[in-house]
Amino acid sequence: MSQLDRAAAQAIQVAPEPDADRRAAIARRILEALPDWFGLPDALEHYIAAARREPILVALQAGEAVGFALPRRLSPAAAEIHVIAVLPAQHRRGVGARLIERIERDLVGEGIEFLTVKTLAPGVDYPPYVATRAFYRAMGFRPLELFPTLWSAENPCLYMVKALRQARHFADGRLVIASHNPGKLREIAELLAPYRITVTSAAALGVAEPEETGESFRENAELKARAAAEASGLPSLADDSGLAVAALAGAPGIFSARWAGPAKDFALAMARVERELRAAGATDPGRRAARFVCALALAWPDGHIECFEGRVDGSIVDSPRGTRGFGYDPIFIAEGERLTFGEMEPAEKHRISHRADAFRQLVRGCFRP
């Protein structure tokens, strides 16, 4: 994937669509753009009806739906991707991967162990599905069984499956928080308080912060957690988070802290966000979509690591509001809220924030009894 495509993928938001009519309209527009995949009228109408009837996840880029997926629970242990589709112009740009990553994240949180998908079997000379099978293999799916006549003799069905990875449980009494940011330390310590873990910071142990050379929030969180675990000999939890603005192709993204300069002046960073949005012509509220992203990495001294990524979607206001929180909180309003994160009571922010989302996944994966 090119740097441009990587930036576009980071700007994609994946969210459920609650309205049945919008679900059906999104499904119709995308499926009709894919005649090589969904050219049979009966099949197309079947998937549109399913999207109207059942929840779907929609991939949004600059507020426009560019892909969707319908995951369906089959049993307490298994689920399937009933349909997934991405507009042709967005193929090979990470949209499908983002949809499947979100599906897996949700399913693991529910205790689902296996994810399946049906596709056209090999042996049929049809290039679009050669690419489809390659995509599923790249996402970790493996062939399980061939059903020659499930659809028709001309369209044999290949059933593919992926085992969803189960996280290592945390059984230690001490944990290092690998951050020197007081705001992050405070929030993470508050989230960990119910678990009766003795928490210390990397700064208190004299552990220096490594250079953040990763190309994603996940990579930076992992390298910080590994460095702290190796230096301290204790399990270490690191956070890498930031603001991704759709109209700015996902910027500031992993450079969120650097936009604040050496003095960590987030008033300066927020002013830059507004300046660049205006330069991009994104003054209308409908063009100011953004999300906060948080990657939490838990590393053990033996090298094992678990990583969870949380998000909260919302939009950017044109001037800072509120003095609570830290960083970009005063210019961000979460979907469905009236107050910015800078105006919210801490307990309310913790309930819906990107860090809380990542932390819930961490707890489900690593702190379950």
Residues with catalytic function: 240
Query: Comparing C-alpha atoms, which of 357, 317, 359 is closest to residue 341?
Result: 317
DSSP letters along 105-137, please? HHHHHTT--EEEEEEEPTTS--HHHHHHHHHHH
Q: In angstroms, what CA-CA distances link 270 with 8, 105, 129, 289?
A: 22, 30, 45, 15
Residue 361's Cβ-count burial label (10 Å; 0-12, 13-18, 19+) is buried
Taking the CA atoms of 196, 202, 206 and 207 in sequence, report the sign of the dihedral they define: positive
Locate 305 and state its tokens.
């690591």
Bond preceding residue 252 cis, omega within 30 of 0 = yes
Q: Name residue 309's beta-bridge partners.
A: 295
The rounded distance, in Å, linking the Cα atoms of 361 and 369 is 14
The rounded distance, in Å, linking the Cα atoms of 250 and 269 is 15
Q: Name residue 294's beta-bridge partners.
A: 241, 310
What is the CB-side half-sphere exposure of residue 286 using CA atoms within 13 A? 2
Ramachandran area for residue 336 (φ above 0: left; ψ -120 to 50: alpha; else beta): left
Locate 272 and state its tokens.
């830059």
